[in-house]
Structure 1
Amino acid sequence: MMKIIQYFLLLACGVTLCSCSSGPTSVVRVIDNPTANEIVIAIDGKELAIPANSKTKYTFEYGKHNLAYNNESFDFVVKPAKFSGKGFINPTQSNYMLHTIVYSTDNTSEEDYKKFYEETLHKIPIIFNGEEEEVELPVKVVNDIFIEDEHNKFDYSIDQKMPKEIHENIYKNQTYQDSRTKVYREKEYINFLKNEYSEFLNDEGGKLEISFPNKPIKLAEINQYAFPTINLEKIECDAGKKYLAETLDNWKQLYTLKGSDFASKYEELGGDKSNGNRPFARYKELCPKDTDRGNTDVQTVLQLDNFIRDTRDIHFYIIK
């Protein structure tokens, strides 16, 4: 294990909060191309060229969209999120590295630091001079198309610098440790490793060739969100059947809307204005005698709950 942080005294600072007036109707995302060649993608049929080793910003209205690249395409939804976060789009499914650094006060013991540091380690494959090996580093390798901090938990995105120190409210002489995670493009991360981990990598001469295996999930195998199929005819409770039919129609209608219309409808169905209501709770209320959780149709209703829960805190998700 090698420490690469500088010890320092964390200073207290204040946090300024801001409030927003009217709600947003779109999300701006960086589309990154870290490859050595220009790429051309199509968003909703409109082609967009991104030069080699560059990025562009794109504004996505709330609603359903399509992205096509390299003779493949998929539909996805852009929506409000309960906890708005950072993210970017990786159409080439290139490798990005989420590297974690531990910060601590000067009075932190070696034992406490080591324990905290070891929690950040992952066993990852790296190719050294053509030979693949497994090493432990405080990094996670991702190559998703939508890289969102809700799923990957990073503090600093590409092109943001990792600070040498952080500021927290702590008592004088208090022992404190914390961590921050930054996203690196693969080439940039290799340079970072060579500069900061040369001793660990035994590369003091700088002659070691380093790369990472790139094994992205096939587009057809990417986690896609879809409503489960509900056979309404099998549901004997008329009130429950009517409610589920209306619920499914409302969600289908949602995907035909854009911008503020989408935002308003979504808030009623799955956002704050829904008051946390979920299909199963309402179904149970309407059909109390028909909510045995072993029942196939009830399990399907629970899947609706899971869909709403799993997509609540993300801006982008791929749909079937």
Structure 2
Amino acid sequence: MKKIKYSLLLICNITLAGCFGSDTSSSSSVDRMIDNPTPNEIKVIVDGKELTIPAKSSVNYTFEYGKHTLSYGDQSLNFIAKPSTTDSSGLINPTQSNYYLLTTFYTTSNVSDETYDKLIAKHLNSVPVIINGEQQELEMPVKVINDVFIERQKDFWDYSVDEPYPDEVTLRGKGQFQSQKIKLFREDSFIESLKSEGLNEKINFINQHPTFSEIKKYTIPNVQLDAIACKKGREFVETQLNDWNKFFTSTGKDLASLYKQLTSNETFQTKHAIMKECTSEGDTNRSYQSATRQLEEAFDETNQINFFVTQ
């Protein structure tokens, strides 16, 4: 395939800033935009309720913490809505359309094109496209995502689909000359941005995504309690497993309270204090450490997101 470099040079002056943040500690639900970037109306079913989303539009929906179902076309999946350990936002993408995370730098006016190219170089990716009927690759500072649940804490952005790039931003810190910013684009808007930067050819982006059934599912690991040599460690892991089972069947504030307990600093400290105690008692095979690692690997990557797919 032919390689094309298309760097999307954006150099701006710097004077304006923004901020983000909200408190969801007392919430029992999470709001999310369900987006339809396609040129056709779609119907999505959430927990048996049909939602009609017009072409190139979206609806806001409130999900109580707990288990839900989402159906689109002939596909369905189960998922958990839950609190996030950090402020989180995002959108739901039932059509699994492509969205684009574009990285750019705002710089002071004395920065050269050469310096900008060095800044942007580590963010360049080869993106497969079809231009004038020929499959090629564009090298640009873009990450293509088409997850059903697109979460800002997983794939970070500064500006969402309906937020334009500001003309200027403010630098923080003495001697700063640049600020990295990321914007999330729908495909139509992204193609328009390419045209505004001088791309005149007809371009189509390739969309590759798993089916709903192929999406990774988070489940409670099958920890062998009898294999944990340390009694106190075995009791702690058994309690954790029981709490995770309750989590998967809880709703609303009950789920929020339980999740806060499971991810609390107190629980973390207790886990590691027991680890030291088990080691001193002769758990030479580190059976307790192995069991707690199974739980960590199962759920740690979900801490900063509000939605994850389950069986």
Answer whether TM exceeds 0.5 for this pair: yes
Match of 2:50 among 19, 41, 47: 47
Distance 1:282 1:166 in 2: 46
Secondary structure at 2:213 match in 1: helix
Q: What corresponds to 1:189 in structure 2? A: 190
| Aligned with residue 15 of structure 2, among 2, 8, 11 | 11
Cα distance per residue 1:188-209 (max 9 Å; x no partner): 21121112133xxxx2xxxx22
- CA shift, 1:4, in A, is 3.1
Q: Deviations over 1:172-200 (max 9, x none)?
A: xx3511221111111221121112133xx
Correspondence 1:290 to 2:283? yes
What secondary structure, in the 3-state scheme, does the structure 2 residue paired with 1:100 have? strand
- Name the count of aligned residue pairs: 304
Counterpart of 1:256, as a letter, is: T
Q: C-alpha separation between the residues in 2 aligned to 1:134 and 1:313? A: 33
| Distance (Å, rounded) in 1 between the aligned partners of 2:236 and 2:211 | 37
Question: Which shows bigger deviation, 56-65 or 284-293?
Answer: 284-293
Q: Which stretch has the larger CA shift, 297-306 or 27-36? A: 297-306
**Residue among 203, 210, 216 paired with 1:210:** 203
Task: Provide the residue aligned with 2:234 in structure 1.
Answer: 241
User: Please, which of 265, 269, 276 is the counterpart of residue 268 of structure 2?
Assistant: 276
1:295-319 deviations in whole A, cap 9, x for unaligned? Answer: 5x75343121233421211111112
How much has 1:232 moved relative to structure 2? Answer: 2.3
Does the CA-based 8 Å contact 2:247-2:259 persist in structure 1? Answer: yes
What does residue range 138-149 of structure 1 map to in structure 2 within 5 Å?
A: 138-149=141-152
Q: What is the CA–CA distance in structure 2 between the aligned matches of 1:18 and 1:193, rounded to whole Å?
A: 31
- Structure 1 contact 107–175 (Cα < 8 Å) conserved: no
1:230 maps onto 2:234 in alignment: no
Given candidates 77, 80, 104, the residue that maps to 1:101 is 104
Give 2:290's aligned residue.
299
Quick check: 2:22–2:87 contact (8 Å CA) kept in 1? no
Classify the secondary structure of the residue corresponding to 2:33: strand
Q: Distance in 1 between matches of 2:193 and 2:118?
A: 24
Aligned to 1:72: 75
Deviation digits for residues 201-231 of structure 1 (CA, Å, limit 9, x no counterpart):
xx2xxxx221101111222332222221012
Shift of 1:242: 2.8
Correspondence for 1:153 among 145, 151, 156? 156
Contact 1:84 1:315 in 2 (8 A): no
Per the normalisation by structure 2, the TM-score is 0.88
Q: Structure 1 residue 315 and structure 2 residue 293: aligned?
A: no
Match of 2:154, SS state, is: helix
Equivalence for 2:259: 266
User: Residue in 2 aligned with 1:176?
Assistant: 177
Partner Cα distance (2:170, 2:109) in 1: 14
Deviations 1:96-149 (A, max 9, x none): 111122110112244432210212211111110121101211111111001111
Match of 1:86 among 82, 86, 89: 89
Give me the CA root mean square deviation.
2.5
Which whole-Å CA distance do the structure 2 matches of 1:275 and 1:236 have between them?
Answer: 21
Q: Name stretches of at least 5 consecutive residues in structure 1 with no aligned partner.
A: none
Deviation at 1:19, TM superposition (A): 7.5
One-letter amino acid of the counterpart of residue 300, structure 2:
R
Of all paired residues, the percent bearing the same amino acid is: 38
One-letter code of the match for 2:307? Answer: F
Could you say if the C-alpha distance between residues 164 and 34 of structure 1 is closer, same or farther in structure 2, counting changes exceeding 3 Å? same
